[in-house]
Structure 1
Amino acid sequence: MRPGRTRGRTHVPYSDRLGPMATALVTGGSSGIGYAFAQQLAARGDDLVLVARDEPKLRSAAETLHTLFGVDVETVVADLSVREDLVRVERLLGDREIDTLVNDAGFACHGDLLDEDWSVQAAAFDVMCLAVLVLSGSAGRAMSARGRGEIINVSSINALLGADNYSAVKRWMVSYTEALAGRLAGTGVRASVVLPGWVKTNFHSAAGLERPHIPGWLWVKPSQVAASALDAVRRGAVICVPTVRWRIAAWALRHGPDALPRVVARSVRSGHRPKAGH
């Protein structure tokens, strides 16, 4: 058994698996929404390849998933903002038979657009735009050759706002996935993008931000995001907004008064306060 890999397999049947030996690759798969995807993919019997930067957290997630579901779990320690790491994962997608790709890796980049230090904003482009483009392209080529596969990109309801660079990169992800789905039409490969609302994860704390003060009923569980996205890609739906309440919000932002997204964006910007000590 090589380092970073645990072995075993579940024999629970699942009608939506893409093959008898299906494998899914999840970026950002050690925590939050990515881990929720990993759980649900493992529950349906898929082996996993988890990609993340934090090796201890990655190994812990792999061990837990193997123990709970008995599937094979391989870990790949990679920072997708580093070109060499990105190319390494790109090659893996070309060399291995990956049936489902979930591009979840990302982070909050809510800094002022006029800041002189643009390094964080550049890293956001690398992780949430370039990496999505490169990895989806590699997976799409390999999947098209086999005539089957799924690609899921994790965007955000922020894509419908104009709050900051995070909104911009997440909006790019929506447009890109729509284009990708069109390119893959007729190949047997499906592509979907999921736009969750506010999700209960460590997303804000990891960025040194206070969690938004919004009513509890607006928060969405990571498991809801993963379940909705997996169902959407299975049905061939390109855009997915989990939960009825956020689908209503998305409709209002798209089809309501032109000023509505700008008003909401101002509120979002004002809520991006650093936590004490940051």
Structure 2
Amino acid sequence: MPTALITGATAGLGAAFARRLASDGFDLVLLARDTARLERSAAELRDRYGVDVEPLTADLSTDAGLEAAEERLRKGVDLLVNNAGFGQQGVYLNVPVADEVRMLRVHCEAVLRLTSAALPGMLERRKGGIINVASVAAFFSRGTYGASKAWVVSFSQAVMRDLGGRGVHVMALCPGFVRTEFHERAGMDVSGIPGLLWLDQNLVIDAGLRDLRRGVGVSVPGLQYKAIVGVGNLIPRGVADRLSSRAGRRFD
């Protein structure tokens, strides 16, 4: 059976990826910080889908966590989903610098190091895939979060160009608003976000896996978000950035 390693695997899109890939017959390596929650998730997936599930407790904002993830990836996986991430409770200059640096480590350094650990084995077998979960925020100015996700998109595109079609595909997945624990954990008040802008988790997963198979470099799930990104490229950058900065930026 193929094996997928998913970071941030016990909540939100990570948990949705785990369920979908298990239903597709993948054995799983689930990486997250909460050991008890990891073990519950692993047991549920084993019982429901009959696949092997390996829990891996690791905090990707630490050297030890990054090294544990790299060590497991060097043993070989068929699919890596770099999904771990978080939002900040506040805007730039209201957030401690240490928290911003932690975000960069999880969103950027972890994606770089885990991609680098997974690729050699994939290239040797001439097959495999990496999904780096970014965000529609990558295309607009939204503080450190948007900047880190813009880096994920640029990095993923650059890696694909450097690989030059060697049987392995790297893709940035850029969802918009998805109903998960993400906003609650960040203390964001999203009550003013129109219903049209909310995406179903399964739609995001379906679009991402389909686009990975098709060799798409940057996947933007949902027609509404494809339109938003397209229009954002046409209107003045300052106007687009002001609109983006207001959306979902109220904090409880």
Q: Which of 151, 166, 170 lines up with 1:187 in the alignment?
A: 166
CA distance in 1, matches of 2:117, 2:234: 35
CA distance in 1, matches of 2:89, 2:241: 16
CA distance in 2, matches of 1:23, 1:251: 35
SS of structure 2 residue aligned to 1:108: coil
Q: Which of 117, 142, 145 lines up with 2:121 in the alignment?
A: 142
Within 5 Å, give how 1:66-215 maps onto structure 2: 66-95=46-75, 97-109=76-88, 111-115=90-94, 117-215=96-194
| AA aligned opposite 1:173 | V
Q: Is the 1:22–1:99 Cα contact (8 Å) retained in structure 2?
A: yes
Distance apart, 1:159 and its partner CA? 0.7
Larger radius of gyration: 1
Deviation digits for residues 102-130 of structure 1 (CA, Å, limit 9, x no counterpart): 00000002533224721110000110000
Q: Which of 23, 32, 38 lines up with 1:58 in the alignment?
A: 38
SS of structure 2 residue aligned to 1:264: helix
Q: Is the 1:51–1:78 Cα contact (8 Å) retained in structure 2?
A: yes
* Cα pair distance change 1:117/1:40, threshold 3 Å: same
Q: Which of 227, 232, 243 lines up with 1:248 in the alignment?
A: 227
* Cα pair distance change 1:259/1:115, threshold 3 Å: closer
| AA aligned opposite 2:32 | A
Q: TM-score, normalised by structure 1?
A: 0.87
Q: In the alignment, which residue of structure 1 is the partner of 2:202?
A: 223
Deviation digits for residues 237-266 of structure 1 (CA, Å, limit 9, x no counterpart): 011000111111111112333333222133
SS of structure 1 residue aligned to 2:199: coil
Structure 2 spans left out of the alignment, 5+ residues? none
Share of identical aligned residues, percent? 38
Q: 1:273 aligned to 2:247?
A: no
Distance apart, 1:179 and its partner CA? 0.5
Deviation >6 Å, runs of 4+: none
SS of structure 2 residue aligned to 1:140: helix
SS of structure 2 residue aligned to 1:190: strand
CA distance in 1, matches of 2:46, 2:235: 46
SS of structure 2 residue aligned to 1:150: strand
Matched residue count: 252
Moved more, 194-203 or 219-228: 219-228
Larger fraction in helix: 2
| AA aligned opposite 1:64 | E
CA distance in 2, matches of 1:41, 1:183: 28
Q: Is the 1:161–1:264 Cα contact (8 Å) retained in structure 2?
A: no
